[in-house]
Structure 1
Amino acid sequence: MDNRTIIQEVIAAFDANNIEGILQHLTDDVTWTMIGDRVISTKEGMRTFLVEGADIKMVSSTKDNIIIEGDRAAVNGEVVCKNTQNGDLYEMFYTDIYELKNGKVNKITSYIINKKK
């Protein structure tokens, strides 16, 4: 599977709230850095984070740019998520940078900015 297909499948899994679909494309030692918020380490750490946050569901997202160069990719756009417990909507701009190693995502760096209301 080429890197473009891997990244597209990861993005689609995030959009579909498909935890297993995301995890299948990660290395065991993956790191997800959400700038200014937290760092999640390891595939099991990702599983825990995604399961614990399962009440936050993706409603919609755009992919304004997808740039892939070798083992690196960048995706940016807008995202809307909903808290299924209280109905709150979260509208944000994002940029995700992916680094791949041996055909799997090894590092994700996310920049997320809440939209002004």
Structure 2
Amino acid sequence: MTRNNKTILEKANAAITEGNYEEFLSFCTEDTVWTFVGDRVLQGKEAVRQYMATAYVEPPKFMVENLIAEGEYVTAIGQISMKDEEGIMVDYAYCDVWRFRDGKMAELKAFVIETITS
């Protein structure tokens, strides 16, 4: 099951980088909950859809450094770049902890920190 969950997350991430947000959402449960630690909580697929419509006007670019699976959880560690409200590309380090239920992404706890380049 853990291998299957990793594959599901990889397919979902590929959909995001292609800008295919509806395909990404097909991998989520209707009652999915996304917690951006220290920022906000999104409850339900529609809330995630609305978030993506504003935060991902242009598909983000990201590189997964590690995928770690155990039971119903998959943790992704990596780097993501996306444009802010002014259209400026901003780089972040992230750690996403996904909980799966019945082969779909049911919950996300995301730790995202802007990286400073000098």
State how far apart, in whole Å, the 1-side matches of 2:103 and 2:116 are. Answer: 37
Give SS of 1:64's match: strand
Distance (whole Å) between structure 2 residues aligned to residue 27 and residue 87 of structure 1: 31
Residue identity in the other structure for 1:94:
Y
Q: TM-score, normalised by structure 2?
A: 0.87
The aligned amino acid for 1:110 is A
For residues 1-117 of structure 1, the aligned pairs below 5 Å read 2-58=4-60, 60-83=61-84, 86-117=86-117
Q: TM-score, normalised by structure 1?
A: 0.88
1:54-73 deviation per Cα after TM superposition (whole angstroms, max 9, x unaligned): 42531x32111101112110
Q: How many residues align?
A: 115
SS of 2:46's equivalent? Answer: helix
Partner Cα separation in structure 1 for residue 110 and residue 53 of structure 2? 19
User: Per-residue deviation at 1:13?
Assistant: 2.0
Q: Tell whether the 8 Å contact from 2:62 to 2:78 is kept in structure 1 after alignment.
A: yes
Which segments of 5 or more consecutive residues in structure 1 lack a partner in the other structure? none
For 2:23 and 2:12, the matched residues in 1 are separated by 7
Q: Distance in 1 between matches of 2:56 and 2:17?
A: 13
Contiguous gaps of at least 5 residues in structure 2? none
